[in-house]
Amino acid sequence: MEALQNIRERRSIRKYADKPVTKEQIAAIAEAAKMAPSWKNSQTVRYYAVMDTALKDRIAEEGTLNFSKNGNNIRSAAALVILATVDGIAGFEPDGTPTTAKGTHWQSFDAGIACQTFCLAAHDMGLGTLIMGIFDEPKIRELADIPAGESISALIAVGYPEENPNAPKRREVTELLQYR
């Protein structure tokens, strides 16, 4: 798939087919996502792929801050990827002092780049994704055994799409872009 076509056509998918996704497919997506740029190439993003339905259902039930739409999204998807980042590296000097005034901003920045790279790679492989920001971090940390020293940036549902939604309206480039 052409890169621009991929960028244009990727959509958030909230309804998935009852069809499994394999560990090999998730690994192939992660293989592409690892090429995402990062702060000083520090590569602090970690992917925890929940393939076990019972655990995925518990996260849907207990880890979504009672936002039931995300519970349904997670239950519907074949896999759930927990995107985490190692704390205190991106944006920081080796002695722990922040390199810029933006503190932990760069850690989230790297997570975002990796997240979109992951979703675009999945789309290229015929899989749908949904990035979710509404989740209960302490609960998911406990349920999925996410190590101390890592923060959970986002959840990504992954599965075969069973819907083909239109793109939500985007602002005009004239509103987004200015020249100086």
Ligand X SMILES: Cc1cc2nc3c(=O)[nH]c(=O)nc-3n(C[C@H](O)[C@H](O)[C@H](O)COP(=O)(O)O)c2cc1C
Q: Cα separation of 163 and 178, whole Å?
A: 36
Collapse the DSSP code of 169 into the 3-class scheme (helix H, G, I; strand E, B; otherwise coil) and give the result. Answer: coil
- Closer CB to ligand X, residue 7 or residue 27? 7
Contact call for residue 131 and ligand X (CB under 6 A): yes
Q: Which range in 34-42, 69-77, 101-109, 140-148 contacts ligand X by CB under 6 A?
A: 69-77
Distance CA 18, CA 58 (A): 18
Binding segment (CB under 6 A) for ligand X, from list 34-42, 45-53, 68-76, 138-146: 68-76
Q: Any contact of residue 123 with ligand X (CB under 6 A)? A: no
96 vs 133, beta carbon nearer ligand X: 133
- The closest of 40, 41, 39, 59 to 49, measured between CA atoms, is 59
Residue environment code for 3-22, b if the CB has 16+ CB neighbours within 10 A, otherwise e: eeeeeeebbbbbbbeeeebe
Position among 1, 52, 134, 149 found at the interface with ligand X (CB under 6 A): 134
- Closest to ligand X by CB, 91 vs 161, is 161
- If the CB atoms of residues 38 and 76 are measured against ligand X, the closer one turns out to be 76
Is the C-alpha dihedral spanning 141, 134, 157, 7 positive or negative? negative
CA atoms of 15 and 148, how far apart (whole Å): 33
Interaction of residue 108 with ligand X, rule CB under 6 A: no
Q: Which residues bind ligand X (CB under 6 A)?
A: 11-12, 14, 69-70, 73, 130-134, 154, 167-168
